[in-house]
Amino acid sequence: MGEDADTRKINHSFLRDHNYVTEADIISTVEFNQTGELLATGDKGGRVVIFQREPESKNEPYCQGEYNVYSTFQSHEPEFDYLKSLEIEEKINKIRWLPQQNAAHFLLSTNDKTIKLWKVSERDKRPEGYNLKDEEGRMKDLSTVTSLQVPVLKPMDLMVEVSARRIFANGHTYHVNSISVNSDCETYMSADDLRINLWHLGITDRSFNIVDIKPANMEELTEVITAAEFHPHHCNLFVYSSSKGSLRLCDMRASALCDKHAKLFEEPEDPNNRSFFSEIISSISDVKFSHSGRYLLTRDYLTTKVWDLNMENKPIETYQVHDYLRSKLCSLYENDCIFDKFECAWNGSDSVIMTGAYNNFFRMFDRNTKRDVTLEASRESSKPRAVLKPRRVCAGGKRRKDDISVDSLDFTKKILHTAWHPAENIIAIAATNNLYIFQDKVNSEMH
Amino acid sequence: MEYKVEAHRIMSISLGKIYNSRVQRGGIKLHKNLLVSLVLRSARQVYLSDYYGGACLGSQRAEAGEWAEGETMESLEGRSSPGAAGADSCESETESRETLRAPETNAQASVEVAAERNAEEPASSSDYNWPQGGETDEERAPGQAEDSTQVPSCPVPESRFECGAANADEGPQSPAAAAPCCTRKRSAGKSPYAGSPVKRPRPGSVPPANTEGGDASEDMDTGNVSSLITIFGSSFSGLLSKDGAQAEPGAADGDSGSGTICCEQMLPNLSPWSTAIVAF
């Protein structure tokens, strides 16, 4: 699955020449909008950077729609909860775009506690020729005004304005891990560790609690919610995943509080793989509906699975992302890597799935051909317009040239956040503080 | 045995993580602490299994009959609390409990327990497998694990005591760290979460036939430690029931009995834990 790489590395860190990474620049979420024209990234410092795809230019047909920075703004600031003496991180956990309904774009961004609705609009004209004000905005001396003129709109340099339209605060006691916009375009949900709330986009002082798994007695707590998403077409259905590796599909028509699931998707654990860390590696870190709405894609620490909504007792496909780590779970526990939450993504036609791994590797699995590939997102190995070379990790046994051995993997370089353009073969990969955008020039015959 | 060393190491690491989570930016992360506490619990059970493997076998046999009826009320929480009681640490115990418990699917028992996480099949590829117990299904005394009164009889090493003390010191941290009882997936048929509080260790049980405790001072030490372990293992059930009158509705009456025993010894250390529950 070769790809031409139109690599754009946006380094947020102004300390470019140094090797260390400013923590605030670490990208924490990546999301395309529904058309793929815009790509938003959030980072640990609470900033959102939006990229826009340049329209294809006739002069350089090879330069097919690159992404350039469109707007940057500070979405969330660090806060302090005085009651609990807790600092609330400004890290952007998730960004979700609203379907576009007029000239402006809207997106939701959330940190641990507060969700904000941002309006992104363009201004490329401004009025000139006011009667009472001069060009600088100062009031004119009325005695100098002898005639009336009608102000006219004159073109100006494009300006992108971002404003916070809604702030949905105080809805969550625990850390928000997911937001998802409903297909009705009026409501959205936000999920924290124990509860899921349903909001109306226009109402900020109220939300409905639709899932609550907090036990009456906290000592009986056994699982938490790890991700949640609305069905892409059915506005009454949503799914949430748990730390125990189960998925629950809920129907909001059944009752106001969706504690009883309509379907429970769970695969019994393989007893041969039992270890101290079995619970941790079975915790689902991400769940995504397919574009068709028929399938679910989940990611746990070592595998990614495709589930059919019609079959609850096991996934229809399981892909090993980096099974060579199974024997290293203890070390990964020590250095906290075992808690890393990898995301997963579908391509536009639901035929290929993608997820990240360590050493800046990311993996793609073709569901039809059953082929998979490991690619690397790094400056050294990819020049602009170079074809990405497939990588291989060798876990012992015969080692080929260019193989990376498991022990030389860099676990600080992890690709947690990836996104796939909704229609084309363009992917956005967040590698720590760098964003890589890869485009596939070869046409869809492969997919 | 090296698995014990590893279990101890994992326990130390886990406790370190829980401790550090208190000072991390952004507050205590419930999910991560829950997972860490699950690992800690698993490691603790493996670590303690060695001490009670031999000591309690005899007493288990004696009590096998007594505890059979306790089965229905059992929850994993109660079962794992007693790493101190040692009984549940015996690998075959848990295996046999699995088979015993399988038919017990009433709502109260179910809670979180579907498959037992202490299934003892060896995992070939993992570093840290559950050690395969040598005992057979004869030692069917699943309910025995509940009995905290048995606690003082089993010797506990000094290092375990330190570990336990460290637990107490960490008091006002996420209660979720110690909270979770069941770690296994729920099967589709069972209720999602506890409608009623979990069973507490049975009171007034027959004292074990073999008292391995030795002299009084050692009993006191081990009693303390075991109580700590019991409290930690049963999350905060021991604490909440400390004055007996607070026994939660529906909880077994055994609550107050065992809780009292634990708590008389542990009262000075209790307040930070209680604070932790309230705060979180």
Q: For B147-206, how does the pLDDT look when each residue is reduced to its tens digit (9 = 90+)?
A: 434 334 444 444 444 444 444 444 444 444 444 444 444 434 443 433 344 344 444 444
* Least confident piece of the model among A53-62, A280-289, A418-427: A53-62
Given a cut of 80, whether residue A154 has pLDDT beyond it is yes
Average pLDDT over residues B214-236: 42
Is residue A113 in some structural domain? Answer: yes
CATH number of the domain bearing residue A39: 2.130.10.10
Given a cut of 70, whether residue B144 has pLDDT beyond it is no
Transcribe A171-237 into DSSP letters: --SS---EEEE-TTSSEEEEE-SSEEEEEETT--S--EEEEE---SSGGG----EEEEEE-SS-TTE
* Least confident piece of the model among A78-82, A114-118, A386-390, B87-91: B87-91
- At B135, list the tokens: 């005992």
Element (H or E) spanning A329, and its range? helix A329-334
The domain tally of chain A equals: 1
Q: Which residue of A has its CA nearest to B30?
A: A193
Is residue A228 in some structural domain? Answer: no
Give the helix ranges, DSSP H, for B56-181.
57-67, 76-80, 91-101, 107-110, 158-169
Is residue A94 in some structural domain? Answer: yes
- At A414, list the tokens: 């992890």
Residue A77 lies in domain: 22-120+160-169
Given a cut of 60, whether residue A320 has pLDDT beyond it is yes
Nearest CA-CA partner of B146 in B107, B216, B228, B204: B204
Given a cut of 60, whether residue B107 has pLDDT beyond it is no
Q: What is the pLDDT of residue B12?
A: 93
Q: For A236-294, how does the pLDDT look when each residue is reduced to its tens digit (9 = 90+)?
A: 999 999 999 999 999 999 988 988 899 999 999 888 888 889 999 999 999 999 999 99
Q: Which residues of A touch B182 (CB under 8 A)?
A: 222
CA quadruple B143, B145, B149, B150: dihedral sign: positive
Given a cut of 80, whether residue B234 has pLDDT beyond it is no
Is residue A427 in some structural domain? Answer: no
Phi, psi (deg, nearest 5) at residue B262: -65, -45
How far is it, in rounded angstroms, from Cα A398 to Cα A74?
A: 50
Nearest CA-CA partner of A75 in A121, A23, A118: A118
Is residue A29 in some structural domain? Answer: yes
Residue B175 near residue B235, CB atoms below 8 Å: yes
Can you tell me which residue has the tokens 């339209």? A165
Nearest CA-CA partner of A358 in A376, A385, A370: A376
Q: Which residue of A has its CA nearest to B39?
A: A276
| Higher-confidence position of B147 and A163 | A163
* Interchain contact, A327 vs B235, CB within 8 Å: no
Residue A118 near residue A162, CB atoms below 8 Å: yes
Classify residue A66 as exposed, middle or buried by CB count within 10 Å of its CB (0-12, 13-18, 19+): middle
CA quadruple B47, B51, B56, B57: dihedral sign: positive
- Between positions 221 and 280 of A, the ones with CB within 8 A of B are 221-224, 226, 243-246, 259-261, 264, 266, 268-269, 271-280
Confidence of residue A146 (pLDDT cuts 50, 70, 90): confident
Nearest CA-CA partner of A30 in A361, A303, A415, A439: A415
The DSSP call for residue B157 is -
Confidence of residue A229 (pLDDT cuts 50, 70, 90): very high
Contact with chain B for residue A396, Cβ under 8 A? no
Q: What is the pLDDT of residue B53?
A: 57
* Interchain contact, B34 vs A223, CB within 8 Å: yes
Nearest CA-CA partner of B55 in B167, B157, B177, B169: B157
Q: For A350-375, how does the pLDDT look when each residue is reduced to its tens digit (9 = 90+)?
A: 999 999 999 999 999 999 999 999 99
Q: For A173-206, how does the pLDDT look when each residue is reduced to its tens digit (9 = 90+)?
A: 999 999 999 999 999 999 999 999 999 999 999 9
Q: What is the pLDDT of residue A413?
A: 94
Given a cut of 70, whether residue B232 has pLDDT beyond it is no
Strand order in A303-308's β-sheet? A286-289, A295-299, A303-308, A317-320
Given a cut of 60, whether residue B263 has pLDDT beyond it is no
Amino acid in the structure at residue A400? R
Is residue A282 in some structural domain? Answer: no
Average pLDDT over residues A156-180: 95
| Higher-confidence position of A137 and B146 | A137
Q: What is the pLDDT of residue B146?
A: 39
Is residue A373 in some structural domain? Answer: no
Q: Which of A213, A271, A279 sits opposite B35 (nearest CB)?
A: A279
| Helix-then-strand count for chain A, H and E | 2, 34
Is residue A44 in some structural domain? Answer: yes
Given a cut of 80, whether residue B108 has pLDDT beyond it is no
| Higher-confidence position of A400 and B232 | A400
Q: What is the pLDDT of residue A307?
A: 97
Q: Which of A220, A268, A282 sits opposite B198 (nearest CB)?
A: A220
Half-sphere exposure of A93 (CA within 13 A, CB side): 24
Q: Which of B5, B39, B181 to mutate to test the interface with A (most CBs of A within 10 A)?
A: B39
Residue A373 near residue A364, CB atoms below 8 Å: yes
In angstroms, the separation between the Cα of residue B250 and the nearest Cα of chain A is 13
In angstroms, the separation between the Cα of residue B76 and the nearest Cα of chain A is 10
Bridge partners of residue A431, in order along the sequence: A434
Q: Which residues of B touch A337 (CB under 8 A)?
A: none
Q: Which of B31, B193, B280 sits opposite A215 (nearest CB)?
A: B193
Confidence of residue A63 (pLDDT cuts 50, 70, 90): low
Residue A426 near residue A438, CB atoms below 8 Å: yes
**Angle in degrees, CA B141, B147, B148, rounded to 5:** 145
In angstroms, the separation between the Cα of residue B209 and the nearest Cα of chain A is 33
Q: Are strands A434-439 and A426-431 parallel, antiparallel or unpaired?
A: antiparallel
* Interchain contact, A326 vs B126, CB within 8 Å: yes
Confidence of residue A396 (pLDDT cuts 50, 70, 90): confident
* Interchain contact, A88 vs B26, CB within 8 Å: yes
* Interchain contact, B277 vs A245, CB within 8 Å: no
Phi, psi (deg, nearest 5) at residue B154: -105, 130
Can you tell me which residue has the tokens 């007996």? B244
In angstroms, the separation between the Cα of residue B41 and the nearest Cα of chain A is 9
Q: Which residue of B has its CA nearest to A175?
A: B29
Q: Which of B39, B128, B237 sits opposite A280 (nearest CB)?
A: B39
Q: What is the pLDDT of residue A61?
A: 58
Q: Are strands A263-265 and A247-251 parallel, antiparallel or unpaired?
A: antiparallel
Given a cut of 80, whether residue A382 has pLDDT beyond it is no
Confidence of residue B50 (pLDDT cuts 50, 70, 90): low
Confidence of residue B133 (pLDDT cuts 50, 70, 90): very low
